[in-house]
Amino acid sequence: MTGKALDGYREVLDRLESESRRRSVRGDASEEMTDMSSNDYLGLGARGSEFDAELSALCPDAGFTSSASRLLAGRQSHYRMLESYLEEQYGRPALLFNSGYHANVGCASALAIPGTLFVADKAIHASVLDGFAVGKADFRRFTHNDMDALRRILDRHAAGYERVIVVVESIYSMDGDEAPLQELAAIKREYPGLLLYLDEAHGVGVRGSRGLGLAEELGVADDFDLIVGTFGKALASAGAFVIASPLLIDFLVNTARSFIFSTALPPVCAARSLLMMRKAAGMEEERRHLARLADMLRDGLHRMGLSTGNSTSQIVPLIVGDAARTLRISAKLREAGFDALAIRRPTVAAGTERIRFSLNSSLSESNISTLLAVLKTILES
Ligand SMILES: Cc1ncc(COP(=O)(O)O)c(C=O)c1O
- Give the closest residue to 188 by CA, choosing from 234, 224, 162, 157: 224
Three-state DSSP at 24 gives coil
Q: How many angstroms does the Cα of residue 173 sit away from the middle of ligand 1?
A: 8
Rounded distance, CA 356 to CA 197, Å? 25
Taking only Cα atoms into account, the Rg of the chain, rounded to an integer number of angstroms, comes to 21
Contacts of 115 (CB under 8 A, 6+ apart): 161, 162, 163
Q: How many angstroms does the Cα of residue 101 sit away from the middle of ligand 1?
A: 6
Ligand 1 pocket: which of 230, 235, 258, 262 to mutate (most atoms within 8 A of CB) = 230
Pairing of strands 354-358, 315-319: antiparallel
Q: Which amino acid is at 141?
A: R
- Residue 235 sits at the vertex; the CA angle it makes with 218 and 145, to the nearest 5 degrees, is 40
* CB-ligand 1 contact for 201 (6 Å cutoff): yes
Ligand 1 pocket: which of 125, 174, 259 to mutate (most atoms within 8 A of CB) = 125
Query: 75-98: string of b/e by CB count within 10 Å (b at 16+)?
Result: eeebbebbbebbeebbebbbbbbb
Rounded distance, CA 47 to CA 252, Å? 35
Three-state DSSP at 264 gives coil
User: Chain centroid to CA 267: how far?
Assistant: 22
User: What does each of the 381 residues of the chain score in pLDDT, given as a tens digit?
Assistant: 567 999 999 999 999 999 888 988 888 877 789 999 999 999 999 998 999 999 999 989 999 999 999 999 989 999 999 999 999 999 999 999 999 999 999 999 999 999 999 999 999 999 999 999 999 999 999 999 999 999 999 999 999 999 999 999 999 999 999 999 999 999 999 999 999 999 999 999 999 999 999 999 999 999 999 999 999 999 999 999 999 999 999 999 999 999 999 999 999 999 999 999 999 999 999 999 999 999 999 999 999 999 999 999 999 999 999 999 999 999 999 999 999 999 998 889 999 999 999 999 999 999 999 999 999 999 998
Rounded distance, CA 216 to CA 203, Å? 10
Output the pTM of the full model.
Answer: 0.95
Nearest CA to ligand 1 atom 9: 100
- Residue 298 sits at the vertex; the CA angle it makes with 294 and 302, to the nearest 5 degrees, is 175
- Residue 259 sits at the vertex; the CA angle it makes with 256 and 263, to the nearest 5 degrees, is 155
* CB-ligand 1 contact for 230 (6 Å cutoff): yes
Active site residues: 39, 125, 169, 173, 199, 202, 233
Rounded distance, CA 352 to CA 344, Å? 8
Rounded distance, CA 331 to CA 32, Å? 16
Q: Which amino acid is at 205?
A: G
* CB-ligand 1 contact for 240 (6 Å cutoff): yes
Pairing of strands 226-230, 240-243: antiparallel
Nearest CA to ligand 1 atom 4: 100
Three-state DSSP at 270 gives helix
Q: Give the number of the atom of ligand 1 that is nearest the alpha carbon of residue 231.
A: 10
- Domain at 20-42+284-380, CATH homologous superfamily: Aspartate Aminotransferase, domain 1 (3.90.1150.10)
Q: Which amino acid is at 187?
A: I
Q: How many angstroms does the Cα of residue 105 sit away from the middle of ligand 1?
A: 11
Nearest CA to ligand 1 atom 10: 100
Domain segments of the chain: what residues?
20-42+284-380, 51-281
- Give the closest residue to 231 by CA, choosing from 197, 196, 264, 280: 280
Nearest CA to ligand 1 atom 15: 201
CATH number for the domain formed by residue range(s) 51-281 = 3.40.640.10
